Structure 1
Amino acid sequence: MLRYVVYTRVSTEDQGKSGLGLEAQDRDIEIFLDKFSDVPFEVIGRFQDVQSGGDNGRPELEKALSLVRKTGAELLVAKLDRLSRRVSFIAALMDDKKVKLRVACMPNADKFSLHIYAALAEQERTFISERTKAALRMAKERGVKLGGMRDATMKRNAAVQAKADTEAAKVMKLIAPMKEGGSSLSNIARTLDVMGIATSRGGKWTAMQVSRVIERSRV
């Protein structure tokens, strides 16, 4: 029988206490088990950390990995960044012959695909950080007063805008060849879904969303 060890993570103590983020992870894991997992299967353990993804010293993850190595079960996470935000950590884990990783929102991804995705995600976070700093510098040069709530709001808005732009650029690397090959927006949306690539909000693709990504990439 196929066996899974489920691991979830939230970034702060407040999220852990309130359940923010956990509901979405549990939902994605249940969808995977219901729609994509081979049967029969059994979940033999569930572990949860309340720590930053940049912190590799997570006690519950170590317990989950220990159980995986001992039983031969597969480690199941909702999204790759719930495991870690460091590509080096993920790469080392995938090199471990006693660990098999499954990502719920990328049910058909192999090790190579997961490695590439992790590298792109790390690069994206670095870019967002630098772009946010640049936006704040430009605002300061224009005489905008930064501080208090205004400072926090500007940082948040700049980060949201930078994330949207970067995600559009990343997905365009897949959309552009299909568009140039004559695929319709609807066909491109279906292909992205089949590839296990979620929208920026974690949902399914539509022709309209594909069109918006194309328009954003032209800005």
Structure 2
Amino acid sequence: MKQYVTYRRVSTTEQGRSGLGLEAQTRDIDLFLANYSDEPFEVIGDFTDVLSGADNERPELTKAITLAKQTGAELLVAKLDRLSRKVSFIATLMDDKKLSLRVASMPHADKFQLHVYAALAEQEREFISKRTKAALQAAKARGQKLGGMRDATMKRNEAVKANAAARAEKVRGLVLPLRGAGRSLREIAEELDKAGVATARGGAWSAAQVKRIIERLEANS
């Protein structure tokens, strides 16, 4: 029988008390078990931490990993960032030959692919931070210090542009190689969905969105 140890994490005490975030993670885990797991299966342990993703000292995660390794069960999480937002921490887990890891939102991803996605996510966070700071500095240099509706609108526009560019950079390593291999915009959109890469609004990818991503990447090349 296939065995799993499930792990969930929320980032604040309020989320832990109210169930916000936990419900969505439980839903994703249940979807994986119902649609992608070998049959029959058994969940032999369920663990939840209420801590920041930057904190690697998570007692419930430690328990989940220990149980999974002792029993040979797979450690199942809803999304990769529920383990950690640090690629170095995730890489350590990937290198542990005694630990088998599955991510519900990327049901077909192997360890190498998960490592790549973790690295891309870390790059995205760093890029968004730098682009947002650069956009604000540029706005300040143009003399936008008086406030008002116009200044607020321009700052929002700068932030929107920075975030759009950051999202494009996030998928550069996936989109451009697929495009270079002759894949259609629709096929690339399907691959992004399969990889668990979310759009800005959290929906499914469309060919038009992929086209805009490619145009942004080419403009910034």
Give the TM-score, by structure 2 length.
Answer: 0.83
Partner of 1:114: 114
CA shift, 1:2, in A, is 0.7
Q: Using a 3 Å threshold, how does the CA distance of structure 1 residues 191 and 89 change in structure 2: closer, same or farther?
A: closer
CA contact (8 A) 2:6 2:47 kept: yes
Q: Is the 8 A contact 2:139 2:155 kept in 1?
A: no
The letter for the 1-side match of 2:139 is A
Between the aligned partners of 2:143 and 2:108, the Cα distance in structure 1 is: 50
Aligned position for 1:61: 61
Counterparts of 1:24 and 1:158 in 2: how far apart (Å)?
31
DSSP 3-state at the match of 1:205: coil
Deviation of 1:157 after TM superposition, in Å, equals 8.0
Residues in 2 aligned to 1:146 and 1:72: alpha-carbon distance in whole angstroms: 62
Flag the 1:215–1:23 CA change in 2: closer, same or farther, 3 A: farther
Separation in 2 of the partners of 1:155 and 1:29?
Answer: 39
Give the aligned partner of residue 204 of structure 1: 204
Alpha carbons 1:108, 1:196 under 8 Å: kept:
no
Distance of 2:136 and 2:95 partners within structure 1: 40
Paired AA for residue 214 in structure 2: I
Question: Equivalent residue for 2:19?
Answer: 19
Paired residues of 2:8 and 2:22 also in contact (CA < 8 A): yes
CA contact (8 A) 1:132 1:155 kept: no
Alignment CA distance shift 1:36-1:213 (3 Å)? same
Unaligned runs of 5+ residues in structure 2 are 148-152
Pair 31,130 (structure 1): closer, same or farther in 2 beyond 3 Å: same
Instruction: Determine if contact 1:25/1:78 at 8 Å carries over to the other structure.
Output: yes
Q: Distance in 2 between matches of 1:31 and 1:160?
A: 33
Structure 2 counterparts to residues 1-219 of structure 1, below 5 A:
1-145=1-145, 161-217=161-217
Aligned residues: 214
**Kindly tell me: are residues 101 and 146 of structure 1, through their superposed partners in 2, closer, same or farther at Cα, counting changes over 3 Å?**
farther
Change over 3 Å in CA distance of 1:127–1:14 after alignment to 2: same
Moved more, 204-213 or 155-164: 155-164
Shift of residue 215, structure 1, vs aligned partner: 4.2
Q: Which runs of 5+ in 1 are unaligned?
A: 148-152
Q: Distance in 2 between matches of 1:112 and 1:213?
A: 25
8 Å CA contact retained: 1:7, 1:77: yes
State the TM-score, normalized to the length of structure 1. 0.84
- 1: distance between equivalents of 2:208 and 2:155? 28
SS across alignment from 2:171 = helix
**For residue 96 of structure 2, what is the amino acid of its counterpart?**
D
Q: 3-state DSSP class of the match of 1:209? A: helix
Structure 1 pair 122–177 and aligned structure 2 pair: CA distance change class (3 A): closer
Shift of 1:27: 1.6
- Aligned-partner Cα distance in 1 for 2:13–2:158: 25
Q: Structure 1 residue 133: deviation in Å?
A: 1.9
What is the root-mean-square deviation in Å for CA atoms of aligned residues? 2.7
